[in-house]
Structure 1
Amino acid sequence: MHTSDFDSPIAYYDKRFGVQAIKLLPGQYAVTKQEKLLVTVLGSCVAACIYDPMTGVGGMNHFMLPTINKTANELEQTECTATKYGVYAMEVLVNELVKAGADKRRLEAKVFGGGRVVPSFIQHDVGRFNAEFVVSFLNTERIPIVASDLCEEYARKIYFFPATGSVFMKRINELNNATIIERESQHRWKLSERKLVGSVDIF
């Protein structure tokens, strides 16, 4: 198992699925070869679930913005900040998957998030920018997107099983969306303690 070095993701036992799980906050990622569940909640942020179907190596990230105006050296020195940005978070995730034994030629991706969860964001739709970035990045890297649920006007809770590539996505239809945005930016996980009302989709 490899995770972000800063503010390590929260490990817990998920009673619903009966497995060990890891919760990811904005700017975090996790890569594993084990039978573990990776979980995150997304408003305008995006998560890429990438896996090698032959080896069972897989991982997920959670980023807040597409790009960052820093040099490579500055990014190296501030990894905890840099992984909030798609341009770095995606590179790190793919590199760590390969280090863990995945073959880049076999990687497949499922991508989620980028919701327009606050009406006032219409003029500056961060979620759409995030969604467009992740699709462009994966196309450039020739990693096929085999499933996705992007943009729209709802938040999401993602449950990813890297060993099989399975994803369960819960649409969050009744929750204060402004709270989601605030908590994304503050790296809090209290969303998981609130009642999430919506439908569940399987990818």
Structure 2
Amino acid sequence: MRSRHSGSAAVADPARVTEPGHYYDKALQTHAVRLMPAEYRVSSEPLALVTLLGSCVAACLYDPLVGVGGMNHFMLPGAAGNTRNDLADGDMSARYGAHAMELVINDLLKRGASRSRLLAKVFGGGNVLSGFQNDPIGTRNARFVLQYLVAERIPVVAQDLGDTQPRKVCFFVQTGRTLVRRLPSTRDDDIVRAERAYYGDLNRAPVAGSVELF
């Protein structure tokens, strides 16, 4: 296991888990919410956001002063390329990084975060899919998120991007503490199959909605 972390997280009471989609993670000793591709979540509660990444990228943003944070999980930089203007086609789905970033930032600001205090940690972008040697999807996603954050003047205080392995990410929204695990090769086939199926569906699925892969 390879992990990175900073800060600390409060221990939660498992009896308090009541909301649909939430669960109590015994290993992390906290409430947790699992994010699927094309989803994002922002919260000020003492919980962790958990996701699995192949070529996808998750951006974790938080304001340490007010204790609010959020994560997205996007599949492609934009509907037609790598810039925020790619949303001109009208697709406002969180499956695209260009909009997924704005969704998280705007939600953070609504919950009392200050743009000037936002910090970012970014993960994923592994080149786990064969057949994409020329500017592979993982590389494009990783490049996009770093360029976006530079343009928005949001400091990146931690990152684990690229390479060829999938990852599991756990992000504690109140503190910014983050755990990253490089997954063993036995998990590669499942994640690769799921991602190939999802990318194949992008051209067939309706614009709205999300697909649960893991």
TM-score (ref. length: structure 2)? 0.77
Distance in 2 separating the partners of 1:169 and 1:135: 18
> 1:110 offset after TM fit, Å?
0.3
Mind listing any 5+ residue stretches in structure 1 that lack a counterpart?
1-7, 191-203
Which of residues 39, 43, 47 is equivalent to 2:50? 39
User: For residue 188 of structure 1, what is the aligned residue in structure 2?
Assistant: 212
- Tell me whether 1:169 sits opposite 2:180 in the alignment: yes
Of structures 1 and 2, the larger Rg is shown by 2
User: For residue 143 of structure 2, what is the aligned residue in structure 1?
Assistant: 132
Mind listing any 5+ residue stretches in structure 2 that lack a counterpart?
1-18, 81-85, 202-210
- What percent identity do the matched residue pairs reach? 45
User: For residue 91 of structure 1, what is the aligned residue in structure 2?
Assistant: 102
SS of 1:121's partner is coil
Aligned length: 178
User: For residue 111 of structure 1, what is the aligned residue in structure 2?
Assistant: 122
User: For residue 16 of structure 2, what is the aligned residue in structure 1?
Assistant: none
User: For residue 208 of structure 2, what is the aligned residue in structure 1?
Assistant: none
Per-residue deviation, residues 83-127 of structure 1 (Å, max 9, x unmatched): 100001001110011011110100000000000113332224100
Decide whether the 8 Å contact of 2:73 with 2:95 is kept in 1. Answer: yes
Decide whether the 8 Å contact of 1:9 with 1:23 is kept in 2. Answer: no
Decide whether the 8 Å contact of 1:9 with 1:22 is kept in 2. Answer: no
SS of 2:126's partner is coil
Per-residue deviation, residues 53-111 of structure 1 (Å, max 9, x unmatched): 10111000000000114655833xxx4xx110000100111001101111010000000
User: For residue 59 of structure 2, what is the aligned residue in structure 1?
Assistant: 48
Structure 1 moving runs of 4+ over 3 Å: 69-73, 186-190
Higher relative contact order (CA 8 A, sep 6+): 2
> 1:178 offset after TM fit, Å?
4.1
